[in-house]
């Protein structure tokens, strides 16, 4: 018997009412997906195809119009401690030091002070920020801030990480370094992740599987298993000769060449 998936969407549809035009927009339609323990899955698709909507439903911030979302076999109806998300914006609070920012989630969950400080410091060391623990966010570079955001996400020890283009605001080199950090951290901790990205190579470098979505209303049109070794080492994976073939396949699915013609 297969184990309970960490994250599961069952025939999920999301409709938004547009009161000004009196119309209803279907953002995503009939999405079913299942992510096993320790799996990293990327979600890729054209802009406005409802990727972020899926993520919001996964985190319990927005309810699905129909269908169900499950985390660890439990139905998601409101935010819960099994899921944590990370966005393109680091969302660090400027009045808190880095370590206090990392503690935010645990603080809300009522973890005792000493325990959460120890955990935050350990994670910041792992995210290679030990020297900036008591700095304020504005004193850090974009890449460092995003690393702190990753530490904050991991600090609540979620079953599933939901990431919405976490590196898209970074420069190309910083991005590669952070991808490497993330790949390694996910492998070390055995975390499950759903990762939204526009960067095709990033998707190939980081994931076990890639789900491709269609234009709005978003549906999953293809599922690609990335059959390359070294998922814990995105830097090496990037250089693998098979990457190009996957990228071409994704370009075709997303009809990128047609859009440029």
Partner 1 sequence: MSVARPAMLQLGVRRMVVASALLFVIFLAAWQWLPGLLGIPPFIIPSVSLVWQEFLHMLARDRLLFHTGITAMQVGVGFILGVMLGVLCGFALGMSPTAEFVLSPYILALQIAPKVAFAPLFIIWFGYTVYPKILVCILIVFFPVMINVLGAVRALDPDVVRLAKSFTANRFQVFWKIEFPAAMPPLFAGLRIAATLAVIGVLVGELVGGNMGLGYLLAFSEGAGETAKVFVTIIMLTLIGIALYGIVVAVETRVLHYLPSRARLAI
| Residues near partner 1 (CB under 8 A) | 59-61, 78-81, 83-85, 87, 89, 91, 93-97, 104-105, 107-109, 136, 138-139, 156
Is 26 or 91 the residue whose CB approaches partner 1 more closely? Answer: 91
Cα–Cα dist 241/228, whole Å: 10
DSSP reduced 3-state for 70? strand
Residue pair 215/42 in contact by the 8 Å Cβ criterion? no
Is 123 or 200 the residue whose CB approaches partner 1 more closely?
A: 123
User: Shortest Cβ distance from residue 79 to partner 1 (Å)?
Assistant: 5
Tokens for 214? 């269609």
Residue 65: asked if its preceding bond is cis (omega within 30°), the reply is no
Residue whose CB is less far from partner 1, 91 or 177: 91
Min. distance of Cβ 88 from partner 1 in angstroms? 9
Determine which helix (DSSP H) or strand (DSSP E) holds 65, and give its type and residue range.
Answer: none
Judge contact between 165 and 197, C-beta under 8 A. Answer: yes
- Order of strands, sheet of 23-35, starting from the edge strand that comes earlier in the sequence: 23-35, 7-18, 66-71, 74-75
Q: Which is nearer to partner 1, 112 or 241 (CB)?
A: 112
| Residue closer to partner 1 (CB basis): 41 or 87 | 87
């Amino acid at each position: 018997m297969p184990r309970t998936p960490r994250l599961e969407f069952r025939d999920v549809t999301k409709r938004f009412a547009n009161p000004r035009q009196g119309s209803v927009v279907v953002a995503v339609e009939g999405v079913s997906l299942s992510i096993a323990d320790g799996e990293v899955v990327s979600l890729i698709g054209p802009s406005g195809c409802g990727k972020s909507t899926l993520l919001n439903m996964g985190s319990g911030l927005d309810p699905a119009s129909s269908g169900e979302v499950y985390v660890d076999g439990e139905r998601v109806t409101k935010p819960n401690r099994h899921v944590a998300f990370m966005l393109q914006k680091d969302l660090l609070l400027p009045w808190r030091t880095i370590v206090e920012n990392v503690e935010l989630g645990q603080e809300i969950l009522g973890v005792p002070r000493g325990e959460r400080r120890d955990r935050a410091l350990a994670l910041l060391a792992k995210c290679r920020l030990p020297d900036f623990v008591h700095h304020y966010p504005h004193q850090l570079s974009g890449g460092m801030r995003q690393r702190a955001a990753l530490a904050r996400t991991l600090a609540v020890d979620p079953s599933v990480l939901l990431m919405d283009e976490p590196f898209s605001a970074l420069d190309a080199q910083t991005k590669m370094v952070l991808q490497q950090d993330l790949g390694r951290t996910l492998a070390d901790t055995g975390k499950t992740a759903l990762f939204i990205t526009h960067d095709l190579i990033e998707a190939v470098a980081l994931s076990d599987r890639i789900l491709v979505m269609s234009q709005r209303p978003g549906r999953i049109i293809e599922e690609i298993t990335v059959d390359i070794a070294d998922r814990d080492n995105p830097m090496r994976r990037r250089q693998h000769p098979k990457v190009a073939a996957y990228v071409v396949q994704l370009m075709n699915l997303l009809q990128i060449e047609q859009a440029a013609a």
